[in-house]
Amino acid sequence: MTRLFTLLVAMLGLILGLIGPAEARSLDAIRSQGQIGLCAHPNSLPFASKAGDPPGFQVEMGQALARELGVSLRLDWIITMFQVRAAGCDLVMDVIADPEALEQTRLKTTKPYYHTGVALAVPQGSKLTSITGLDQTTKVGVQVGSVAAMLISQRHVPISTFGFEVDSLDALANQEIAAAAVTPANAAYYNQTHPDKTLRIIALDDSEPSLNWNVAIGMIRPDDALREAVEAALARLRADGTVQRIYSRYGVTLQEPK
């Protein structure tokens, strides 16, 4: 499998397999109950926040989808993806749209609606222009256990590991490292919330498939009607500019899926 978090996805697939298949969730049942559930992390801005100020683009996307379906949004807060099935939610945002990963998790998805991956954040004055410019003099902050950490280490580039991407961005802003391998969303939101420490974001490197992926909305156990309704709702939200507006509030500019 050639995507970030491969090991996590495989482990999730194993756990879901041990739990066994869940009963399909129907569109009729959701409309009858008047709500649809979204699983999200309670403290992971710009993605989601239980504090709700701001709520995160995953929550705002969930609210917009719920409105399109004529129901309210129920938030199910989880810490790890292993909790998805037990939480009883219907939707998971920002799912990597990789066929092999989806086979492992058994999630159903919409069509991809944006493209992302791992980018490099560097100080404004850095001479780096791409990941290929990294060498033994450029220590890079990486998330522990990530594919980016493995690939960059294989190039004999020194790394510094962090539990969260924002920690590597703080270290970069404090000149403790030369670059940080992070998602563009985290880097963009960091710049928006730290205007006195803005970093330069180097574009995604399309030559490395493991560090690029398309993103879709995941559905945990939809019947055909629910899957089609969510797909249609997302298409309307993309067409009227809602999706772009939601992400742009967090400083994120979406790339078209590839």
Q: What is the 3-state secondary structure (H, E, C) of 201-254?
A: EECCCCCCHHHEEEEEEEECCECHHHHHHHHHHHHHHHHCCHHHHHHHCCCCCC
How far is it, in rounded angstroms, from Cα 12 to Cα 24? 19
3 vs 115, more confident = 115
Lowest-pLDDT range, 98-107, 161-170, 210-219, 243-252?
98-107
For residues 178, 183, 186 and 190, what is the CA-based torsion angle, rounded to 10 degrees? 30
Q: pLDDT at residue 7 above 80? A: no
Which stretch of DSSP H or E encloses residue 7? Answer: helix 6-19
Q: Can you give the pLDDT at residue 23?
A: 61
Q: What percent of the chain has pLDDT over 70?
A: 91
Q: pLDDT at residue 17 above 50? A: no
CB neighbour list of residue 95: distance below 8 Å, 6 or more residues apart: 102, 107, 109, 215, 216, 217, 218
Q: Can you give the pLDDT at residue 8?
A: 40
Is the omega angle on the peptide bond into residue 46 within 30 degrees of 0, that is, cis?
yes
Measured N-to-C along each axis, helices 165-173 and 184-193 cross at an angle, to the nearest 10 degrees, of 50
Supply the pTM of this predicted model: 0.88
CB 97 within 8 A of CB 216: yes
pLDDT in tens, 190-241: 999 999 999 999 988 777 888 999 999 999 999 999 999 999 999 999 999 9
Q: Can you give the pLDDT at residue 9?
A: 40
Q: pLDDT at residue 10 above 70? A: no
Compute the average pLDDT of residues 31-39: 96
Structural domains in the chain, sorted by start = 6-115+214-248 (3.40.190.10), 119-203 (3.40.190.10)
Q: Can you give the pLDDT at residue 238?
A: 98
How far is it, in rounded angstroms, from Cα 249 to Cα 242? 11
How far is it, in rounded angstroms, from Cα 114 to Cα 253? 10
pLDDT in tens, 69-128: 999 999 999 998 778 878 889 999 999 998 777 777 778 999 999 999 999 999 999 999
